[in-house]
Chain A
Amino acid sequence: MSDYQAILDQVAEIIRDIFDEYEGPVTMETTANDVAQWDSLSHVRLMVMIEMELGVHFSTSEMQSFKNLGDLVRASAKQKA
């Protein structure tokens, strides 16, 4: 879990950067629906920036399967392990 927390912290930082108007919590359960600015365009940028900052790469099917930030964090942790 602490692994997940470290990755989530990094992701949260990027999310605050991209969605500068969002002031709610960033948790494993956060989804695009929670953030007003999170549209399809910014979603792609978010993915690109997470890939760059975390040094991971998501496959086409992986990206489709993410239901919330938790899925994304777990997929990243798996790659980094």
Chain B
Amino acid sequence: MIKERFLWRPPLAENWADRLAAVEALLSSGQEPDYIALKTLANQRLGMREHLRMERLAQKVKKQALMPQGFAPITLGLLGSRTLSFLRGPLAAAGLARGLDISALEAPYDSVASYAYSPVDCFGQPLDALLVIIDETAISGQRVILDHEAEKAALAEAAELVMALAAAAREKSGCRAIFATLPGSDQISSSDLATPGSMARFRQRFNLLLADGAQEGKWLLWDQAALADRVGLDAWLDPVRYHAAKTPFSVDACPLAADNIAALLAAMKGKAARGLVLDLDNTLWGGVIGDDGLAGIRLGQNSPEGEAFVAFQNFVLSLRNRGVVLAVCSKNADDIAREPFRAHSEMVIKENHIAVFQANWSDKATNIKTIAETLSLGLESLAFVDDNSAERERVRQELPLVSTIEVGDDPSFFIQRISHSGLFDHLPLNQEDIARAESYGGRAAAAEIRARIGNYENYLTSLSMRMSIAPFNGAGRSRITQLINKSNQFNLTTRRYEEEEVREFEENPEVIGWQVGLEDKFARHGMIGVVIVRKEDTAWTIDSWLQSCRVLERGVEQCVMNALFESAAAAGIEQIRSTYIPTDRNAMVADFYPRLGFPAGDDQTDGSVHYSCAVADYVPHRTFIEIYQAG
């Protein structure tokens, strides 16, 4: 008996039977049911009886020609050396759960050879795909053990049959063939694989032959063997029914097998998931980054839970390597949510792997919609993973088209649930598929820029930023020194000063030292900027200007520059001079002064650029930050 019952699907709703009855009532009155209603009805953790009812419902919808628009129609031929009748009903039901309208046609019993070699077409109509499930007894008769030649001959014969079937599918049914791999069977010895003429050895070689052909694009593969492994061979095979009803595998495995096949058909029809939306706290790492901090979250470090999260991240990255686009949807402050990506040594997933990063306090459904729009993907192309069952339920309610996977709350099971879901099933990959995740990243970045031009000011306003500008003092001294000596990128002159020198600036009347702090409605960012200015009678010279990269593009520099020119004007100063000294790290501020309103500078022979701006000419920048403590 199969133990697993679609664990990745949501649990059976309490009112499932009522909802089924509602759809049936609709059908009885000749009305078309709703796409989402039908799909969500099928996409639940159904028991054997619910499966039976679902199959019957699918049958009724088809019979009355009331299949809602949205279900992709697919006519599947079934060809096998044993009876495949038990797959037909389950295939129709499994299709509904994946947005497919599967009509399965079964060839007459044991017509594999006639379909392959005779001119007769037992289907008599075009197909979208032909699923061939050959039983190994049909292609591999009894052979003498240790007879290499006989094994070779049997394999060549099987290869010929496969090739003939693929050609017949093309010519008679106008479609591609899908070949099922051979599942295992009971072995006599551990040495079966090393024994020419054994079934085990033949099976392995035959499966590889199928795989190679699929890789070359000659046909597709349904890895029946992998599913049988997952379920367990003892549950997969039913010797009584094998003989009594000629079934290739256990009848109670049919819903699962049908779903597995439907996943492949969905991939064929472009209905597989293309994007994976991830929660962060307790999904990518253990704990809550906002509360526990970088040092407090559990990730790697030999803790069982931490290692499970690392394994999950590796799995997610392997999905991306197959062309799945990654997005983040987390209830967090953006900077804090990004911190582990930037600074945690055990993070496998990096910021540049994430095409869209939505960390804010809005509800997840809204954010997932934004992600879909940014990526130009339909909601049905997205899968959502969150450890929190309440969040999952809410997203299912709000966005029933998104595939919210029932991953549970134990990270050790995340990989299993996602891979069993078959949502990311795909055909044999090519280089283009692999490049897809990258190109989505680029498209998303462009979309973000477009959105920014329109909404950037609104965004800045919504942050409710407050800035403090204070002169150097004892309280800030060590952080000031740290910033001066650690900042490389947003640093105009990269001049380093020791703590003692910073202390001297505090007391020197010829020097202005400003420490800049910032907070917004999400977080206190602390000290994020340092400016050092040397005074002369009629001109001030900016000795150092550096900022933390944590808060870029917020209008911080515009705000501080306004304050500096205000102070200069108040002191009767005529000119402000400045310098950009290029290093191999600070290219991001190469055009800093022109951007801030300084006239074009003078290039020096050492590569640096000198600027000067008349105080009277300076036009203050529009800012979105309230200054609450001016120096």
Contact of B1 among A20, A52, A60, A63 (CB under 8 A): A52
CA distance A20 to B1 in the complex (A): 25
Within 8 A of B (CB), among A45-68: 45, 48-49, 52, 58-60, 63-64
A32 at the interface (CB under 8 A from B): no
Complex contact A41–B48 (CB within 8 A): no
A60 touches which one: B53, B56, B85, B244 (CB < 8 A)? B244
Q: Within the complex, what minimum Cβ distance (angstroms) separates B306 from chain A?
A: 40
Q: Chain B: how many interface residues by the 8 Å CB criterion?
A: 16
A18 close to B (CB within 8 Å):
yes
Kindly list chain A residues whose C-beta atoms are within 8 Å of the C-beta of B85.
41
Minimum CB–CB distance from A75 to chain B (whole Å) comes to: 14
In the complex, the answer to whether B251 meets A17 with C-beta atoms within 8 Å is: no
B residues near A (Cβ < 8 Å) are: 1, 48-49, 52-53, 56, 85-86, 240-241, 243-245, 247, 251-252
Given A41-B86, A52-B252, A60-B240: 13 more A-B contacts, CB < 8 Å: A17-B49, A41-B85, A44-B86, A45-B52, A45-B86, A48-B251, A49-B52, A52-B48, A58-B240, A59-B240, A63-B240, A63-B244, A64-B244
Q: Closest CB of chain B to A39's CB: distance in Å?
A: 10
Query: Smallest Cβ distance from B418 to chain A, in angstroms?
Result: 28
Contacts of A20 in B (CB 8 A): 56
A73 CB to nearest chain B CB (Å): 19
Given A59-B240, A60-B240, A60-B244, residue A48 in contact with residue B252 (CB < 8 A): yes
B contact residues around A58 at 8 Å (CB): 240
How many angstroms from the CA of A45 to the CA of B238 in the assembled complex? Answer: 13
Contacts of A48 in B (CB 8 A): 241, 251-252
Q: Contact partner of A44 among B1, B48, B53, B244, CB < 8 A?
A: B244
What are the residues of chain A within 8 A of B241 when measuring CB–CB? 44, 48
Q: Which residues of A contact B243 (CB under 8 A)?
A: 60
Please give the distance in Å from B527's CB to the nearest CB on chain A. Answer: 67
Q: In the docked arrangement, what's the CA distance between A48 and B241, Å?
A: 9
Smallest CB–CB gap between A50 and chain B, Å?
11
- Alpha-carbon distance between A64 and B252 when the two chains are bound, in angstroms: 20
Residues of A within 8 A of B240 (CB): 58-60, 63
User: Is B49's CB under 8 angstroms from A44's CB?
Assistant: no
* Closest partner residue, chain B, to A63 (CB atom): B244
Residues of A within 8 A of B86 (CB): 41, 44-45
List 27 A-B pairs, Cβ < 8 Å. Answer: A17-B49, A18-B52, A40-B245, A41-B86, A44-B241, A44-B244, A44-B245, A44-B247, A44-B251, A45-B86, A45-B251, A48-B241, A48-B251, A48-B252, A49-B48, A49-B52, A52-B1, A52-B48, A52-B252, A58-B240, A59-B240, A60-B240, A60-B243, A60-B244, A63-B240, A63-B244, A64-B244
Q: Lowest 4 CB-CB distances: which A-B pairs, in order? A: A44-B245, A48-B251, A60-B240, A41-B85
Contacting residues, chain B, for A18 (C-beta < 8 A): 52
Chain A residues with CB under 8 Å of chain B are 17-18, 20, 40-41, 44-45, 48-49, 52, 58-60, 63-64
What is the distance, in angstroms, from B28's C-beta to the closest C-beta of chain A?
A: 14
| Bound complex: CA A41 to CA B52 (Å) | 13
Contact A17 B1 (CB under 8 A): no
Q: Can you name the residue of chain A whose Cβ is closest to the Cβ of B2?
A: A52
Which chain B positions have C-beta within 8 A of A63?
A: 240, 244
Q: How far is the CA of A63 from the CA of B243 in the complex (A)?
A: 11
Cα distance, A52 to B52, chains bound together (Å): 14
Cα–Cα distance between A48 and B52 once the two chains are bound (Å): 12
CA distance A58 to B53 in the complex (A): 25
Which A residues lie within 8 Å of B245 (CB)? 40, 44
- In the complex, how many angstroms separate the beta carbon of B384 from the nearest chain A beta carbon? 33
CA distance A18 to B48 in the complex (A): 11
Please, how many angstroms separate the alpha-carbon atoms of A63 and B247 in the complex? 15
Q: For residue B247, which residues in chain A have a CB less than 8 angstroms away from its CB?
A: 44
Of all chain A residues, the one with the shortest Cβ separation from B49 is A17
Closest to B85 in A: A41
CA distance A41 to B56 in the complex (A): 14
Question: How far does the Cβ of B393 sit from chain A's closest Cβ, in whole Å?
Answer: 29
- Chain B residues lying within 8 Å of A17, measured Cβ to Cβ, are 49, 52-53
Chain A residues, CB < 8 A from B48: 49, 52
Shortest distance between the CB of B23 and any CB in chain A (Å): 15
Name the residue on A nearest B83 (C-beta): A41
Nearest chain A CB to B324's CB is how many angstroms away? 37
**B residues in contact with A52, CB < 8 Å:** 1, 48, 252
Q: In the complex the two chains form, what is the Cα distance from A14 to B1 in whole Å? A: 18
Measured CA separation A80–B85 after assembly (Å):
31
> Closest CB-CB distance, A49 to chain B, in whole Å?
6
Cα A78 to Cα B375 in complex, Å, equals 62
Query: Bound state CA distance, A17 and B247, in angstroms?
Result: 22
Residues of chain B lying within 8 A (CB to CB) of residue A59: 240
